[in-house]
Structure 1
Amino acid sequence: MNRRDSDAYRAKKQFYDRVLTVYGRKPVLEALQVPGINIHRLHLAESNKRAPILDEITAIAERNGAEIRHHNRAALSRISKNSKQDQGVAVDLLCPRFRTLSEFLEQGIQDSGDILALDGITNPQNLGMIIRSACAGSIGAILLPGKGGAQIDPLVIKASAGTVFRAPIIRLDGGLENALEQLNKVGYCITGLSSHSQQTLSECAPGKNVFVLGNETHGVSDGVNRLCQARVKIPMNNGVESLNVAVTAALIAFRNAL
C-alpha cells in the first residue's frame, strides 16, 4: 500500500467512525426530525410496501440531499444488524463529534475537559440520560466500550432526547482497561467514586480526570477498579448510600457550572 492509498484509507475510516446507523421506521423518522441532523445515506428494503411513514422518511432524506439506496432483505439486514426490528429501513447519520481513542489522543488534550468512562452500563435509558447530561455539561468525552454494556440503539437515542448525535463519544474497539491505561500515560487521573473517600466531588479540580461509572448492580469491575488512582465521594444525607448512575453522571457534568 502506497502513501496515497494509506491516506485515503485513513480518511475513509475516520469518516465511517463518525457514522451511526439507526434502524426501524419510527426511530428513523424521529432521528431525521432532530434539528441539524446530518443524513449520509438512507437504506430501504425493495420489498417495502407503500406506507405514509416511509413516504415521510424518504421526503426528509430527499430534502437533505441524502443518497437513497434500495436493497434486498438480506443486504439490508447486514446494514442494520437487526433483521427482526429494522422494518425494512435503516439510515446512516453522520455524528461529527464521534471519535476513536487514537484520534482523540492525536488531537491533543490540553483543553479537552474531563471524561466519563462507562464500565458496563447495561440499561439503555441510563446510557441515554448519561449522554444527555454529558452533552449539556462540561464533559469533554465519553468512553463507550463496544462490548459489555448497552450500545446506541433506538431506546438510547430516545432517552438522550437526540443529543447522542452531537455528543463527544469515543467509541472503543478494545476494552475499557486498555483505554484508561493510554489516557493515564498522557496525564489523565483515573478517578472512581467511593463513599469512603475523604475528598468530595466538588473538591476535585476540573481538567484531566477520567471519572469511572460502573454497572448499575455490580459497580466498577475489578480490573478497572485497580486502575483508579483517586477516589471522590458525593456527600449524601438521610442514610442514602448511592445514587442512580445517570444522576451521578449529571452531578459530575455540572459540578463546576452551578
Structure 2
Amino acid sequence: MNEDIIVGRHAVKSAVSSDREINKVFIQEGINKQQIKPILDLLKDRKIMVQQVPKSKLDQMSDVPHQGIAAQISPYDYTELEDFLEAVKGKTATVMILDGLEDPHNLGSIIRTADAIGVDGIIIPKRRSVTLNSTVVKASTGAIEHVPVMRVTNLAQTIDRLKEHGFWVCGTDAKKSVDYRKMEADMPLAIVIGSEGEGMSRLVKEKCDFLVHLPMVGHVNSLNASVAAGLLMYEVYRKRNTID
C-alpha cells in the first residue's frame, strides 16, 4: 500500500481523531510534550506507534512547516460521485467544482472554508489538477477529514450528472455575468472555480446555467482562487441562513 506524510499539529490531530489508517507518528526530539498532550493521548488510545526523530528528519519529510510532528498515513480515499449524490439526495446541497486548480495551498484553503460553512463536497478533475497531497492536508488544517472530495475523469459529464440530480451550475466569469450578490441560492448548487491562470475551460463554461463575477475596483483585476471561492461559498451561506 502506498503511504503519504502529513505534517502539522492540526492536520495530525484530525487524522488521528478520524478513522483514517495511521501507520506511525513522528515527533521531534526535545519537543514540549505538554503542548501536544491531546494528540499523544489520542495516539495512546488508538495504540499508534510514536517515534522520536531529529528535526532534520522532519524537515526532509515535507517542504511546509511541520510544528514538530508528522504522521505516516494511508492515502486519502476519494469519494465516488454516485455515493455523494445518494448522500445529498433531498438536500439543498452545495458542491464546489475546481476546474484545473494547480496550487495545493489553494485547494487546502478551499477545503478548510468548505468545512467551516458546511459545503457538502468538492469535485476535482483527474487530469491537469492538484491532488490530495501532504501540502493540501497541511493547508486544510484537518478539514480534509470532513469534506468529501471527488476526483472525476470528465468534468462536463459530471456536470450533466449533477444536473440530472437537480443541481444548478454557477460559473465564475468576468464577462456576460451578473454580480455575485444577485445569485440565487435556494436550490442545489454547484459552483465552478476556474484555474489560477486560465479560468474555466470552454466546455465547462458552456455547461453552466448562469455566470457571476466578483466586482473589483482596484488596480489588479483578479483574485486568488481560494479567496474567490471563499466569497462565493459565504454568499451562498448568507442567502440560506438568516440572522436570528
Match of 1:137 in 2: 117
Alignment TM-score, normalising by the size of structure 2:
0.72
Identify if the C-alpha distance between structure 1 residues 187 and 158 changes in structure 2 by more than 3 Å, giving closer, same or farther.
same
Give 1:216 shift: 0.4
Match of 2:171 among 180, 189, 192: 192
Unaligned runs of 5+ in 1: 1-19, 69-83
Identify if the C-alpha distance between structure 1 residues 41 and 188 changes in structure 2 by more than 3 Å, giving closer, same or farther.
closer
Aligned positions, number: 216
Identify if the C-alpha distance between structure 1 residues 33 and 186 changes in structure 2 by more than 3 Å, giving closer, same or farther.
closer
* CA RMSD between the two structures: 3.7
Give 1:43 shift: 2.7
Identify if the C-alpha distance between structure 1 residues 111 and 23 changes in structure 2 by more than 3 Å, giving closer, same or farther.
same
Distance 1:178 1:66 in 2: 44
Identify if the C-alpha distance between structure 1 residues 38 and 21 changes in structure 2 by more than 3 Å, giving closer, same or farther.
farther
Verify the 8 A CA contact 1:42 1:61 in the aligned structure 2. no
Identical-pair percentage: 21
Match of 2:126 in 1: 146
Match of 1:23 in 2: 5
Identify if the C-alpha distance between structure 1 residues 214 and 33 changes in structure 2 by more than 3 Å, giving closer, same or farther.
same
Distance 1:211 1:257 in 2: 13
Give 1:116 shift: 0.8
Distance 1:231 1:205 in 2: 11
1:97-246 paired onto structure 2 within 5 Å: 99-167=79-147, 169-206=148-185, 207-246=187-226
Identify if the C-alpha distance between structure 1 residues 181 and 23 changes in structure 2 by more than 3 Å, giving closer, same or farther.
same
Distance 1:182 1:34 in 2: 32
Give 1:218 shift: 1.1
Match of 1:251 in 2: 231
Match of 1:12 in 2: none
Alignment TM-score, normalising by the size of structure 1:
0.68
Corresponding letter in the other structure for 2:87: Q
SS in 2 for 1:196: coil
Match of 2:33 in 1: none
Match of 1:92 in 2: 74
Give 1:135 shift: 1.3
